[in-house]
Amino acid sequence: MKVAIFGLGYVGFTAMCCIASEGHSVIGFDVSGQKVDKINRGVAPFSEPGIQELLTEVKDAGRVSAFTDIGDRLADVDLAIVCVGTPSAPDGSHNMSYIAEVSRQIAQAVDPNRSSPLTIAYRSTVRPGTVTGLVEPIFRSELGDEVFDRTIELVYNPEFLREAAAIKDYFEPPKIIIGTRDGKPSANMDKLNANIKAPVFYVGYGESEITKFVDNTWHAVKVAYANEIGRVCMQLGISAAKTHEIFISDTKLNISPYYTRPGGAFGGSCLPKDVRALQYISGDCGAGTYLIDSLLRSNDAHKFRLYEMTTKGLKAGAKVLLVGLAFKANTDDLRESPNIDLARNLLKDGYDLSIFDPAVDATKLVGANLGYAYTQLPALQNLLVSKEIAETQQYDRIIVANPTIKQLNLAEGQDIVDLNALA
């Protein structure tokens, strides 16, 4: 198949490389000329284990190319995948402007005389009703009903990639959700997923659109719940680690141990955004989701408590090393990282801060990641230190924010506070 991908951020670029590695021809589109140029030069636009090697492989095979303009490049495309951003609006809803704009651009580029329908699969996180209430009307307006019905197949296909494990998750997803108008299979989506073994659910648009909210909010619930229990245990002098061990031993009723452990606050580009969006949706429809409404407050409270823990006993102006800045190890994604909040508070209170995170290169950040980083930490480039400096400098306290600490050979007797070891 020939596949087009719109939006070459984390989800789109990962999909581009993975799909091309299966022998498909893939063209990608992005508004960022810098990102497009990097990909065409064979340079991955972000840090992710294995992604640079995969890009090199598919570039050498001549199966990928990137562009800023669509032109007539959709003429022989079988499947288009939309992966543009849907950032949070001030009220918590998703900003749908990028979805609307890319839909118009695709519609305007469609040949009305196509011999076979173009399948357009949306992977961007959107509220239920988006395909039928926003996307389809745009296509019908641009193409007319007759041409739309004959040339376009709309699909909603949420992704379940975890940063630092994206390639593995692409080929080994927990499930495949494909939303179609009538809930029936799509031939092109079946071709795309032919080599992927996972449970497949063909459903209507609404069920497929809400799945990502349900999943990510549940993950947020697990993280917040475990952290609240961890704080209670600490206050009572009870071992949170042993309590956690007992809790997760029940795999019959307690479901999964993955997120249900006390540690750092949740963050990243998905969980906070999707919790806010589900809050908005539930308020909009009058569902009254009180637990969900409390999640972000609980997470903020946990951030504050962690800051108190990290600075307890520290004198003003103390020299601090923060190990790990991205929201998780082995990725350079800084968006809504709780470690960014921690760094900002350390600076605000006058501590002499240095940061070690081998995955984060301030000169290579792009797109929303770049914007978020420098909005929140304008001095980021000056705060980052090398492995050699982190290992040889003397610090009053070392704060471990993610497992990046394993890459350092620190002298014994260091004053270390590990945010992921609440016990």
255 and 261 in contact (C-beta within 8 Å)?
no
17 in catalytic set: no
CA contacts within 13 A on the Cβ side of 27: 17
Rounded CA-CA distance 312/361 in Å is 30
Indicate which residue of 17, 18, 270, 285 is catalytic: 270
Rounded CA-CA distance 324/267 in Å is 13
Tokens read off for 282: 């539930």
Nearest to 254 by CA among 221, 300, 277: 221
229 and 243 in contact (C-beta within 8 Å)?
yes
Active site residues: 270
